[in-house]
Amino acid sequence: MYRIMVVDDECVFRKGLYKVISNADSEYEIVGEAEDGAEALEMAGRLKPDLIMTDVYMPVMGGLELIREIRKREYNVDFIILSGYDEFKFAQEAIKYGVEEYLLKPMDVDEVKSAIQRVYNKMLLRIETDMLYKRCMVNCMGNLERLAENIWLLNDNMIKNDLESIKLKTCDIIPEKYKITPIFSDFVNILNDKLKEKIRNDSYCSRYLIKIYEWEKEAVKAFMQFECAVWNTLKELKRGKNHKYNHLVKMIREYIAERADDAELSLSETAAHFGFNPSYVSTLFKEELGISFIEYITAIRIEKARRLLSEGMKASEAAIASGYNDYPHFSKTFKKITGMSPSEYIEKIYTTSIQR
């Protein structure tokens, strides 16, 4: 039932309106009558009406003050103002507080019925829109989680798939009369929250969060804004990540060069030194240099060992100076990289020097 309250200090008018509403539609139910705003305010808290039809001028508390007080309490109720005064200031105040209809006394029966029907239809549309909004949010949550992940991973193809799926589940299947545009603003907030979780250790990326300052009112256009913002964020994130990756890799390579002779140098120790987890550093090296961290540090150490052997250092000493405490492991690794054992390499150097 559509619950209606009538507020007017004229008893005859209230009774007449009661009769009109009762005969208008079986869905309408008058749940209360009040002769002033103060009484109506108390009743509204108890009776929870969907619609309040109120006069402007009444003793104790007028209609506009009643509306202000109810808005403060955030009751979910619509208003129709009934007034014998066609004054612009009343209309302005009514618009400010979201009054749905403003009827001038005396009004005819059809005018009253039509006004109530319009407000009733708007309420139904809000309810249907809210239901669709919740359904879209549930249906798209998985896509949003994947979208955030793929934005962070800079995965263009998967981002395209996620956006197409979100569009299909929102504006492609919902009639335009349902104003679901705010859902895209909520999508942005969800994506940003998930991106913040991923970049909490990377403050340089915070400025690349998705931003839209003014939304289009049509769902299709709002989605296009959302889609465009995602691609822009991806573009900026790529630029930012590339800049930081290059700088970080440079610092790690310098760190390795300084400590290559330290047998304790490892992926875990290096990652901890720079404040990152090992998998992140490992992935970074693979993406930037095309080889793993272990392959890189091994190449640095063996190259140093070759130089030391070429300068006449004993193989066992060159192993320690290159970061290997375990000579058999050094010898095996040396042969794997150069194709020769340390002793074979020394012999080659000796033979070459004699031939000269």
**pLDDT digits 0-9 by tens, 6-34:** 999 999 888 888 888 888 778 898 999 99
For 213, phi then psi, to 5°, come to -95, -25
Residue 56 and residue 133 share a domain: no
Position 249 in a domain? no
When divided into structural domains, the chain yields a total of 3
**What range defines the domain where residue 227 resides?**
125-237
Please state the rounded mean pLDDT for residues 255-268: 86
CATH of the domain at 78: 3.40.50.2300
Report the b/e string of 120-143 with b at 16+ CB within 10 A: beebeeeeebeebbeebbeebeeb
The more confident residue out of 133 and 43 is 43
Q: What is the pLDDT of residues 272-310, one digit of tens each?
A: 887 778 887 888 778 777 888 888 889 889 989 988 988
- Listed residues 107, 140, 173: the one ending a domain: 107
Out of 64-73, 203-212, 213-222, 313-322, which region has the weakest mean confidence (pLDDT)?
A: 203-212
pLDDT interval class at 37 (50, 70, 90): very high
Position 120 in a domain? no
The pTM of the full predicted model, rounded to 2 decimals, is: 0.57
Distance CA 71, CA 165 (A): 39
| Average pLDDT of the chain to the nearest whole number | 85
Position 117 in a domain? no
Residue 222 and residue 182 share a domain: yes
Please state the rounded mean pLDDT for residues 119-140: 89
Q: What is the total residue count of the chain?
A: 356
DSSP calls for 328-349: HHHHHHHHHHHSS-HHHHHHHH
